[in-house]
Amino acid sequence: MFEGRLAWRYIRKQKRHSILTMYSIAVALTMMTFLFTLFTNIVGCCRSVAMLQGNYHYTIGN
């Protein structure tokens, strides 16, 4: 009887830890996606501003 209650308690705790682990992974992936998108947009905006300020095409040779 005692072993059964102990096993049940262990399974319930592990289930809680598993849910927290999956939630943490989901939050981490969301934050990484957000940061990557933010970085890409910032680089794109900086590139657009640089192209608007001058002509950066070079001619090599004649």
Residue 55: per-residue pLDDT: 64
Residue 62 banded pLDDT, cuts 50, 70, 90: low
In a domain, 52, yes or no: no
Q: How far is it, in rounded angstroms, from Cα 5 to Cα 11?
A: 10
Question: Residue 40: pLDDT above 70?
Answer: yes
In a domain, 30, yes or no: yes
The residue with greater pLDDT, 21 or 39, is 39
Residue 34: per-residue pLDDT: 97
In a domain, 57, yes or no: no
Q: How far is it, in rounded angstroms, from Cα 24 to Cα 48?
A: 36
Can you tell me whether residue 1 is helix, strand or coil? coil
Mean pLDDT of 16-33: 90
In a domain, 56, yes or no: no
In a domain, 29, yes or no: yes
Map tokens 């657009």 to a residue: 48
Question: Residue 48: pLDDT above 70?
Answer: yes
Residue 29: per-residue pLDDT: 96
> Which domain covers residue 8, as residue numbers?
1-46
